[in-house]
Chains A and B, each alone.
Chain A
Amino acid sequence: MTSYRLASGGLVDRQSSLRFSFDGRSFAGYSGDSLASALLANGQRLAGRSFKYHRPRGILTAGAAEPNALVTVGRGGRTEPNTRATMQELYDGLEARSQNRWPSLGFDIGSLNGLLSPFLGAGFYYKTFMWPAHLWERLYEPFVRRAAGLGRATYEADPDTYEKCWAHCDLLVVGAGATGLAAALAAGRAGARVVLVDEHPIPGGGLLSDSATIDGIAAPDFARQAVAELATMPNVEVLVRTTAFGWYDDNVFGAVERVQKNIRQPSASAPVERLWRIVARRALLATGAEERPLVFGGNDRPGVMMASAARAYLNRYGVAFGRTAGVFTTNDAGYALARDLEAAGVDVAAVVDTRADTNFAWTGKARVIPGAFVSDALGGKSLSGIRVWKDGATETIAVDALAMSGGFNPVIHLACHRGGKPVWSDEHAAFLAPPRLKGLALAGAAAGRAGIAVCLEDGVAAAASILSELGFAARPAKLGEVAGDIVAGPTPPVWRVPGVTGKAFVDFQNDVTSKDIGLAVQEGYGHVELAKRYTTNGMATDQGKLSNVNAIGLLAEARGVSPAEIGTTTFRPFYTPVSFGALTGAAHGHHFQPARKSPLHGWAARHGARFVETGLWYRSSWFPRAGETTWRESVDREARNVRQNVGLCDVSMLGKIELCGADVAEFLNRVYCNAFAKLPVGKARYGLMLREDGMIFDDGTTSRIGESRFYMTTTTALAAGVMNHLEFCAQALWPELDVQLSSVTDEWAQMAVAGPKSRLVLQKIVDDDISNDAFPFLAAREVSLFGGQLHGRLFRISFSGELAYELAVPAGYGESVGDALMEAGQEHGIQPYGVEALTVLRIEKGHITHSEINGTVVPADLGLGRMVSSAKPDFIGKHMLSREGLTATDRPQLVGVEPLDPRTSFRSGAHILAKGAAATLENDQGYVTSSCFSPHVGSTIGLALVKRGAERHGEEILVWNGLRGEFTPGRLRDPVFLDPEGERLHA
């Protein structure tokens, strides 16, 4: 393959040669190349295939808007599909593969679609593939899906790391071209905190591709000097390879920095990408302008390129985009390219200028054809010539490359992310940013201005205006003298080229042609948003950067109105696509959410606990012993041991809230539905909290430790929710009450010591008398432990229905107290038990958890109606409780369920049907909320919420689990399966 690399010139480092491969073929490029420039230098024009017609496509741009040259880079977990070759820095060992072709890029069967194109116009798929109905999923759709899509993503996990950070600044400058550099310098010199971001590896923007001089210095060198000065300023941060992708509320910008996307083997000590959230007092978009393609036949043929891109490849990368070039332009940018091409020794066959009255003083060799159009680009997989149309006559000119320039669209993307609508300007022949943006301004080409001198001036002026608003004194700046700049000012746009015979593409990637736009209007989809959705114009990976304005122009022509009347579709993040990895940062895998571990976690682990994720917590589920082969064996043993001897369970995950203040009793009286005003010191009480809509919110015990000091426990699931709720009540509803709240969940290790021998065990470490008389059921007091070495809080409360206590000690002592209890309990047969056994014990007693408190039950549904105070004038939830639907007789009520045959079983989530009733939703009586095997009952038992359940004890029903094909005859019963009188509790 012949080289298109020029002998000299460009910013690449010719001393540093890099090897890379494309579709398995090995190539060489230079440090400083993009993948696109290196491919072009090697004469590799064909870079991809289009979406619908699989047309051969070449490299169209030199930047972020590239719609064609999308490749897959990397391998394994580092595979990245849809990478724009124009934005991918070349590195040694880069592996790139073309996409959306089969069997090969050169010969793609899919290109046969082109022959069917008369039948594949805009929206054709909405009109067919409907008969017979079942063939859509079986035949048509799989075919469509295989044919569609671009690159193939990997299923392997990403080996690299990502991170996120915040930055705060006075001024964020987006884009480090002439405008941005000038603005950043002015603001930096004035002492403002400046962040300057640019998506390319080298700051400079268009300066890097320009042959102009500033104060006699070559434009790229001028940029280098500006960056060098910025680097000396401690108040300025320059972020290269960083794309500002979104403008969010409060002037927060999202930006992604590609830290290690330019090396083959990223270092593990740094992220590959970094997400920046930049809080800017002011922002300046110096994002430049995107050149508009021209819509003519075969404008997608490899060899056709944007003029600015051809110039970038020439001047920045030292690569000629062809040997004999044509230029098709509506403005003076075409001449800037033609001049530079000729200076580099590239033959320019013709400059086709759409303006009949062009007065550009062309002095080069190329023939200028004014008032003419390139109607068609000719050739196959590569351009061979152009057909030039002038006043109805055509001539063919042989070229192997064609540059086009249809004018410029200011890059206003970010400025439109917060709802503002772009405004069409006839003067600029372009859409400009929405007016009156708060905290954000645009300057330079992004504001519709043209020329290096103007941009430098505009950058300084914009910075000065912002600085004065922020109270900084801007120093007068000397602007450089620009020479050799061909300024491409606005010219009338050309939407439709005359004489076209071939397919004229508007959206290259999605294969939307000018005919498709016309068809959309013809069929009633003429609104710009409908046209977009119907034709898919602007919905490709470039989000219409090149195509949208042309589509708007064509719509305007078709409808006979101005582009102003058409308006744009909505600009939305992301300016360019952003990876999941970058937006995720470090929060993945095991770090997706934080892990909470109890102070007794180590203790439980030493006893062989199997842990289970419960919210953020890891809870001990059961403690298998040698010889036990199933979890059920362990759980049965643990539950039995609690009923027979004594068990120790870690309940530290319960929410714990300390309440202090003179009005806490009154406060509790208002947040619980039952009475709390007269709770005596030294006593615990079970409480039910309701939501304002009357449904049960949470339950738990609250103990009065002192006159004005209370200790509340909540369920594990709602610990945070209850705390937020209580703070709401204390701060927003009743700020007049003297109540202070503190979450102390992490301060206390809490252990349930349960079983008939629990007192014997505890008494060995508790100094105080805890006999039944001295420490009766519901006693709650601070106690002395280990001869006064430690103090803890002891509560005589029971979830298991046994004689039981909960002992809270400062978290740091949790493990050692756990060990001491195990030692003290050894002679009494103490065993640790986990949350599974805890569940068995509580179901046997008919105690509720959030399985029953499902957000749709009132106290009466759970048999707790008597707890609801009728005496209190107010409590949260009181006022909604009397609604008809909450007092109706057909409400679900808590019952017990047991199988008729104890050898049979059922599961939670099964529904309840009346005996003999048909299995229909109308006949649904309720469902099993909790179930377990009860070693004490000797069968599966369950709790259920069943319509009118309280009056149906004894009724035979069917436990219906159609999902698992399990249908178990059972009986409803009282929900308390064990010790209904509660005698064991009071032992």
Chain B
Amino acid sequence: MEQTRRDFLKTTAAGAGAAGLIGLPSTTRAQGSKLTVWWNKGYYPEEDAAMQKIVKEFEAKHKAEVELSFTAQEDLLKKITAALIARRVPDVAFCFYNDWQVVPKYAWDDRLADVSDVIEELRPRYDDKMLVVAHVMNNKMKKRAYYGVPIEAQTMHIHYWRDLLKEAGLEDAPDKIPMKWDDYWNYWKKAQDALRKKDAAKYGKLFGIGMTESTRASDTLYNFDMALLSFNGEILDKDGKIIADQPRNRDAIVKTLKWFGELFTSGYVPPDATNWTDGDNNAGFHSHTLVMTPNPSQSIPAAQFFNKDDPQKNNYFNNMATIEWPDGPDGKKARYLTAVKTIIVPKDSRNQKLAKDFIKFVVEKDRFAEYIKAANGRWFPAFKDVASDPFWRTGHKGPKGEKDNHVPVATTIFLERDNRVFEHYKHPALSQVYDENVWGKAMARIVVDKWPADKAADEGIERIKAIFAQHK
């Protein structure tokens, strides 16, 4: 039968409509028994391989399909944020930023699944200090519960080049570095002076201290909070109320900011430190233009461990070392802050049971030990049984039997020092304080805008109060 123009148009329109409907982009919304897992891309291929192995084992055991994708941390945070806002979510998400940028605020908004049942099951295995990070407030339900499963942690360390100290004519062994506050920081200044004096052409642009003081870097807030602890300052009380404006704490904040300002303007910190991202102090250290740098993970030694240009791992075992944060100005041993990395299950996930089964499967002792050791000590396990593995006390062994100067230091900090988690679990507004990098801004006020430390401190405190006031 001959087709009229009208018939043709009808057919075309109907066909186009059907094609449009069928061809609608598939969403990431978790459906059926297929588990969608978004995982932070590891720093090393071994980490990703270990997770892929876990997924295969889980699929075989649970007869379920797992769609695993790896994304770099900065992009994954945006992906998770967008997914939670749009309510088109994965079933499981693990991002290195979950602990402070996702868990407090999205639990508050009732976008995360309560995983207290998982935590209760795992509780005997947990290091209690780390568990609290996921016990956060749900403002809709008006209750506190566990909205994340902590798995691994990072804390503050100082890395330095032993070969540079040797060349400067200074003691380079970790136990010879002075640990008193002023002596400690002056030691690196002395190294810079000595090296520049020795060879101005070679070391003219070397700096003693790689202290990140930028609003672009999360290292900044870690550096600030560590120094604030050294000066005995607190921002919140145990109930999450602001006490930063109390005279004792304000005084500590002013002293801390003044210390950062003077450190920067003294000429021993690279001028670009106010513009650094989290990777810039690492880059400066690896290129031997910094004698030391504080870094809140073991990423620097771990990168040297995998340095292909150094097959004997001479840098890792002989040329560099990791030491602790110095004793406070009052002479007391350093207190540490720990960031505990956390897995979440979005509330809109349709496979919550399977998601929780998956998490429990991942953190089983041997399986998780294999996964976390693939990161070469970059993270420390949140589980006591995994942390009891001798690896954490001895670390790697060098090709000539050298001792590991990095992993055991982190273990000492985690297990033997006064150590507590960041306090954003107390109130989601603190998470925003960190997001805004309020103290990084205050540092810039001092070093860029030339404000006095007390004025910068007061602006920071007022900003914190304003942020808390927005969370009703």
Q: Do A and B come from one complex?
A: no
State the A residues within 8 Å of B (CB): none
